[in-house]
Structure 1
Amino acid sequence: MAVFTEVSEEEARALMRLLNLGELKELRGIQGGIENTNYFATTEAGEYVLTLFERLSSEQLPFYLHLMHHLAARGIPVPDPQVDKAGDNLHMLCGKPAAVVNRLRGASELAPNTEHCALVGETLARMHLAGRDYNRHQPNLRGLPWWNETVPVVLPYLTEAQAALISSELAYQNHVAASSAYAALPKGPIHADLFRDNVMFEDHKLTGFFDFYFAGVDTWLFDVAVCLNDWAIDLPTGVHDEERAQAFLHAYTAVRPFSSAERQLLPAMLRAGALRFWISRLWDFHLPREASLLKPHDPAHFERVLRERIAHPAMLR
């Protein structure tokens, strides 16, 4: 994604040798995103993605890396972290924790139709079920406690109307989180950032979910909401696309049916998903870090999505 840390070919070559991936043939920085340094690395053994973690610590990272391996071992199409002779999948490079995963086939579909949405819904449900026996725990680090901490930081950058909206929505989400219905929501490891550019397709097949570095244990319904707020909206306006949403939801619930609490709280979680990304984009936009390939996302997009979710609640039909 954005290149915050420059990696030389010699440094990358040494890591590829350590992982027994053959000689490095090409190293190319990946543009886009805002969290980690990412490179495509081509070796004699194949295509890989090298990631240097800019915010996550070495103590936090085993949750993500072992989760990916856990899911891959259960047939979920996700990148599998590469290990050295000692079986370690977390390494140090340029003074930063780093990992190498296999590169998925295919390409992202940035203009999805109902077929794409159904494939994502079905695979997400299988992923949630596959993660039920994952034995590591880490909360969603961009969940409600982070929203409560971060909203006061971004408030000075907002108009009066924006400040009123974000404050009232945060209060509403705190109220929802304290409810008995919310306590009844099933939980487990979630991706938490499964946007269109984090899924690969090839020949009408879904070939993988990737970029698990926002994952954490949270409600499965929140993961569904994050997906619907990207896969099933009109990007220019933030307006809900009913046909794509129902394709996603019907495919998901065919694998894992919703509980009554999930059906009840779907509109609230759609609002929660929009709020989460509005807050994080405000933070990244107004308090940016330096990077050689950094393009912060427009915060106004998820403000529009949130307003639409409040004005027009969506349900599973």
Structure 2
Amino acid sequence: MMQDQVLIPACFSSSEKLMDDSVGVTRSGQSVFMSVYRTKIADQCRLITITWCKNLLLHGLSVSVEGPEGESQYTCKVELKPWYFWRKQGSKRFLVEGKPVDIFWDLKAAKFNGETEPSSEYYVAVVYDEEVVLLIGDLKKDAYRKTGCRPALIDPLLVSRKEHIFGKKKFFTRVKFHEKGRIHEIAIECKSRSNNSGNLSNGNSPNGVDPEMEIRIDGNLVIHVKHLQWKFRGNESIKMNKVRLEVYWDVHDWLFSPGLRHALFIFKPTLVSSSPSLVPTSSSPPFSSSLSSQTVSSGSLEGFSASGSSDFCLFLYAWSYN
């Protein structure tokens, strides 16, 4: 069984009272996207977490700022129900170590295109000491006009992203592995070599054929795992232009656990000198459970360090309905 306990912010209740933040993923179809940024607030390097949540009833947005030594968090939550038009634009202030931090958002015309996270026509800004320390969305001019503040001298760094997505046999997501890179499409599929039944309930297809897994990036097959019931945990390294991508997977619960269950995939980039091919390059040690939790430290605010390592890591929880 996986050692990682999956706890996420819940989508918001229909009343003013919000649901508890630490709610396990038990509702089928509740998608969650969490992006963690590192920047400087109140003379300390802190993490800011932007969470988008979606279920059948509503969208939810949560902005959290790390407290002293990571102990507590200051949180702003917004419900995005269709009949709450006025809540789609606004601001909220809270104190971080006695100093004001303001959250501004404008989601009136946000285009979600059926996704949990908006794609355009929005902004979310975090302001401290008359500086915009974090700004996401494409309406940047509107954000600076609304806040009346200048950009921060230090650019925030996206250090990790955690996604909870739902499906049966196929799972899709889109991600940038570094800030100046392009968006890549990741597709994961489990199936049988002999048919398309894709039975994930007991580790074997009805005809006794072993299940297998394919991972594609931008349509290219980069990882193909046969005999998945024996290789349900593993790790491979692939090249993407000048970036080497370490891919870890743990699909044990897909194969051997009943009911709604998840597999965990981790994508960790590093800089390398390589050809522009996109192919598997090596096999690495088995899946490490220590990577299954988000651990980030206050270090360089650059996307890649001098050694070529990246602070960014994608944690993808793929929940299977079967």
TM-score with structure 2 length normalisation?
0.25
The structure carrying a bigger helix percent of its residues is 1
TM-score, normalising length: structure 1: 0.25
Q: Computing the radius of gyration over CA atoms, which structure comes out larger, 1 or 2?
A: 2
Which structure has the higher relative contact order (CA within 8 Å, separation 6+)?
Answer: 1
